[in-house]
Structure 1
Amino acid sequence: MNDSKLHIRLFTKSYCGWCHEAIDWLRGKGLAFEELEVLSNPAAMEELKDLTGKTMTPTIEVNGDILADFGVDELEPWWQKHGFDR
């Protein structure tokens, strides 16, 4: 899938190591994404709760598909399963 067709939002917390790894992974792929730091953005925290029922990070939303509370080792297979690299 062409990068321009991907709408990527990453919900993070500033102290979250897995969040920093997810950011590095996305940047390493050269992907544009919107980072929503939920501790400094109450609206983003509410949206995260609405999407997942939880406040766990990182949580990524790509074109409406959601992966919550993950490590980078889970991100790659999820990414491929959803065909985002096509």
Structure 2
Amino acid sequence: MPDILMYSKPTCPYCHRAMALFRSKGVSVKTVDISAHPERRKKMIERSGRTTVPEIFINGRFIGGCDDLYALDARGGLDPLLQDEQPAPTP
């Protein structure tokens, strides 16, 4: 299984949409709720350069947000990443 990390908030509709795509692909996602763990928001910003959620990493590779994830899938680039297995960085 790929190592997927998503920084999110429970009230974010884009986070829910991204999770729906991952569920449809049959993969599990490790989520970091930055509203419950505000100290991890700083780490998210350092890693992604962005302040919004979701911010998604697959096998340590920065994917971007929900729109980026769906665009990657539309280009046929998501499925190959989901087949690759690599250790993920610490959130």
What is the TM-score normalised by the length of structure 1? 0.77
Q: Which residue of 2 aligns with 1:49?
A: 45
Percent identical:
21
Unaligned runs of 5+ in 1: none
Evaluate the alpha carbon distance shift between residue 77 and residue 47 of structure 1 in structure 2; reply closer, same or farther with a 3 A threshold.
farther
Structure 1 residue 84 corresponds to structure 2 residue 72: no
Q: Quote how far apart the aligned CAs of 1:83 are.
A: 2.5
What per-residue deviation string (whole Å, max 9, x for no partner) do you get for residues 13-71 of structure 1? 22211110011111111102101111111232121011012221111111111122332
Cα root mean square deviation, aligned? 2.2
1:47 alignment partner, SS class: helix
Aligned length, in residue pairs: 82
Q: Which residue of 2 aligns with 1:74?
A: 71
Q: Where has structure 1 moved over 3 Å in runs of 4 or more?
A: none
What is the TM-score normalised by the length of structure 2? 0.73
2:19 alignment partner, SS class: helix
2:81 alignment partner, SS class: coil
Unaligned runs of 5+ in 2: 84-91
